[in-house]
Structures are given as structure tokens and as C-alpha cells.
Amino acid sequence: MADVPERALVVMAHPDDADFSCAGTVALWTRAGAEVVYLMATDGEAGGDELTMDSSEIGAMRREEQRRAAAEVGVDDVRFLGHPDGRLEPTLGLRRDIARVIRQVRPQRVVVPSPERDWDSIPASHPDHMAAGEAAMNAVFPDARNPHAHRELLHEEGLAPWAVPEVWVVGGPRPDQYSDITDVFERKVAALAAHKSQVGDIAELEPMLREWMAANAAEAGLPEGHLAEPFRGVRIG
């Protein structure tokens, strides 16, 4: 696995996105002493088939599920931007909101969903995921590092620019690096189990997760029996 960052920021569209895509890697980082912050663009209020609750109740439930899931992998700082679930767009407002958190956290690595559609994995290419990825990449470059972008962040909020050196992209085509999560796989499963409104029976999901992670490990050339999460690493000039 690549070097562990001192600080990392994981930007996702919905509660549970981080747990499906990178919770094992996050568990490795926090175990090694990294500070990791989760940032969700929405509250996930449009997720699931529950029709007896209104949107605010669903959003509150999913925020709490995400906090419990994050705790399973050593993350205690979970933030929500409250943009509309199912209608996320890579607006200047969303870019500003993400850039604000980048300047607050000052991470060496940011994890984002892919802004590209993966025709081999349409569920991973949910439009909210792509919108969050596009906005997050633009927040990393140029917004967070440019003192003239979203001037209120510097002049009204006192948030100095921050240049993120590296982005890890999940859920997109052409991964080029893999985290061996074999030793922390159970923590990833525990994180996903916290999303009771979305996952249902974790015992049914776990074998599928193991199969997916084993396929990733095989692509990475890891020994049989290992499990891995895939990323595309992007160095920011």
C-alpha cells in the first residue's frame, strides 16, 4: 500500500458510499495513525424503499448510520453538506462547500468518486457520484489552492488556500493501485452493517463483498486469499 497520509479527506455523495468503496483502506490509515475526515455531499434522504418516513427523518437516520459506520473504521469526524439527494449537481456552490472543508482539514490525500461513467459498472456511476466527483476534483484544483476562488473563504472565514498533492479516485475505470485490506476486511463489513436501512441482511452481502474484493486482489497480483480495494491515483501538479 502507498504511504499513509497524516491527514485524509474522503468526499462522497451519500452515506454508505465510503463504506462500499474505501472503508477498508480508511481502517488501514487510521490504524496507522492517520486523521481521516468524511464529507458527505447529501444526507441520503432519497435512498432506500422506506415510504413511511419523510425526507427529513430518512436524512437524520442515514446521518446517524454513517456516524456509526465511520466509528467502525476509526473515523470520528463526519460532516454533511446537505445538498439534495438524487439531484446533486457540480455547481459552484458545491465546489465552494468542498473547498471550504479542504482548507479546514488541509489533507495530503483526498478520496473522491469518479466523475467518469464506467460502462462496466453502471451502479457505481450513479449521477450523484459523478457530480460529487466532478465538484470535488474542481474543489481540489483549482479552487482550494487559489486565493482568488470563493474569496469569502479567505477574506470572511480566514481559511488560507491549501494545495492537495494527491487524489485517489474510486468507482471509475482504469484503477492503477490497490489497498490490501485482508487484515481489516471485518471492519469494512462492520461499517456496512451499520447502514441497516440500506444493507438489510449483512450476512447476504458479505460473501458478495468478499468475492468483489478477491477479484480486485487478483487484478493487483496479490496472493490467493487476499482482498483489496481499487483506486486510481492522481498526482496534482
Ranges 59-73, 79-93, 112-126, 165-179: which has the least confidence: 112-126
User: Quick check: 228 pLDDT over 70?
Assistant: yes
Q: Which three cell numbers mark 105?
A: 482539514
Check residue 142 and give left, alpha or beta (phi > 0: left; psi -120 to 50: alpha).
alpha
Residue 226's pLDDT is: 98
How far apart CA 170 and CA 19 sit, in angstroms, is: 12
Model confidence pLDDT, tens digit, residues 106-126: 999 999 999 999 888 888 789
Ranges 56-60, 81-85, 146-150: which has the least confidence: 56-60
Question: Can the peptide bond before residue 142 be classed as cis, meaning omega within 30 degrees of 0?
Answer: yes
Q: Mean of the pLDDT values across residues 135-154?
A: 98
How far apart CA 163 and CA 140 sit, in angstroms, is: 7
Model confidence pLDDT, tens digit, residues 146-202: 999 999 999 999 999 999 999 999 998 899 999 999 999 999 999 999 999 888 889
What are the φ and ψ backbone dihedral angles of 9, each rounded to 5 degrees? Answer: -125, 125
Model confidence pLDDT, tens digit, residues 36-55: 999 999 998 887 655 567 88
What are the φ and ψ backbone dihedral angles of 24, each rounded to 5 degrees? Answer: -65, -45
Instruction: Please list, in sequence order, all residues whose beta carbon lies within 8 angstroms of the beta carbon of residue 26, skipping any fewer than 6 positions away.
Output: 8, 10, 18, 36, 73, 74, 75
Residue 54's pLDDT is: 81
Q: Please state the pTM of the whole predicted model.
A: 0.95
How far apart CA 139 and CA 9 sit, in angstroms, is: 12
Q: Which residue bears the cell 454508505?
A: 16
- Check if the beta carbon of residue 8 is closer than 8 Å to that of residue 168: no
DSSP per-residue string spanning 131-161: HHHHHHHHHHTTGGG-TTTTHHHHHTT----
